[in-house]
Amino acid sequence: MSNQWKWCATDSEGKVIKGWYQDDNGKWYHLDEETGVMTTGWYKDTRDNNWYYLDENGVMQTGWIILEEIWYYLEPDSTGFKGACYIDRTATIDGKEYSFNKEGHMVDSSLISTNLFNFVKFFEGCYLHAYYCPSHVLTIGIGNTNPKWTSLGTITEDQAIEAFKEDMKVFADGVDSLSSNANVPLNAYQRESLISFSFNVGLGALESSTLWKNICTGVTDPEVINENFSRWNKGSDGNVLHGLIKRRYCEARLFLTGSYSTEI
């Protein structure tokens, strides 16, 4: 067979092959059901309702792939659905549990970036003794307000990290749910910016904010986004807090540029 297989393939009788096709090296391709032209990118097989991804050379992918900073997992084994994207499910992969939303995006909070962990920790601090934050809320660890932890009075650093992971799951799942329900795709750093924001002000505040409404309508003007973030700079007593001015500036910059810098 000549290099024409990159665009179409023929069988031993010279007929154009259509549908799924496996070459002599065991690689799978999908050839258009009507034209026989090689498929690339995402493809939904209407026979099994699964999504598959074929690279620029038409090769069906398996295992972990990352596209536009979003992780996906495609069935690696010959189960009858090899290459099928994991969607709206939780799975144990290499001994670790991962979750995938309705778009197939990996949303497992345990894999929130180290950059985000350090970013939030910088603004929240890590306090092993319970204290009242500027908004007069009993807090412990890395901004944790759950009585499960604050009632202990004193915790270890390991417990602070455990509590933080619990929090991150709540807020990561919440941001992912907002994104999914509104059909608004977020790249990795936009998502993490909003996780930091909602961790501080609450998921309800994010959902009702002008910021979220503008994101949903596709507003990308940096001046508008910066202004929307900067509104949230007051404590519960209504006083402007310099720490929140800086945090909002950095969250907006993260959303717009992907920079996790905590310096102005």
Name the active-site residue from 124, 157, 207, 227.
Answer: 124
Cα–Cα distance measured from residue 102 to residue 87, given in angstroms and rounded to the nearest whole number: 5
DSSP 68: T
Q: Kindly calculate the radius of gyration of the chain based on its CA atoms and give it in whole angstroms.
A: 23
Helix axes 188-201, 114-124, angle to 10 degrees: 30
Return the SS3 of 100: strand
Cβ within 8 Å of residue 192, ≥6 positions away: 112, 113, 115, 116, 119, 254
Give the Å distances, CA to CA, from 193 to 92, 174, 189, 225, 263: 27, 13, 6, 12, 15
124 is catalytic: yes
Cα distance between residue 6 and residue 179, in whole Å = 37
Catalytic residue numbers read 124
